[in-house]
Amino acid sequence: MARAHICDVPRCGRPRQRWQRPCATCLSRLKEAFQQRRFRDHRLFKKRAAAHLAGPPRHDPVTPQQAFANTERLLGER
């Protein structure tokens, strides 16, 4: 007679397949939690990536007048 296999999840006690550690119910719950965690991590990663692409905090944006003055200085006209 085949040995009974019990789910590894504490207080579950449901029978499981021989080749799986948790039963089908716990396995689907585990997958669900894994996916939810991944989505949260994914969002966090996207936020970090956006911050990285934005670069370090910038100074005041350059006005057209300032840009013109910068160009003049570079060209030695001032």
Residue 69, interface with Zn ion (CB under 5 A)?
no
Asked if 27 touches Zn ion (CB under 5 A), the answer is no
Residues whose CB falls within 8 Å of the CB of residue 75, separated by 6 or more in sequence, listed in order? none
Measured CA to CA, the distance from residue 26 to residue 9 in angstroms comes to: 7
26 binds Zn ion (CB under 5 A): yes
Scanning 2-10, 36-44, 45-53, 59-67 for contacts with Zn ion by CB under 5 A, the matching segment is 2-10
Helix, strand, coil in percent for the chain, rounding step 5: 55, 5, 45
Contact pick of 6, 14, 40, 51 for Zn ion (by CB under 5 A): 14
Positions in the binding site for Zn ion (CB under 5 A): 7, 9, 12, 14, 22-23, 26
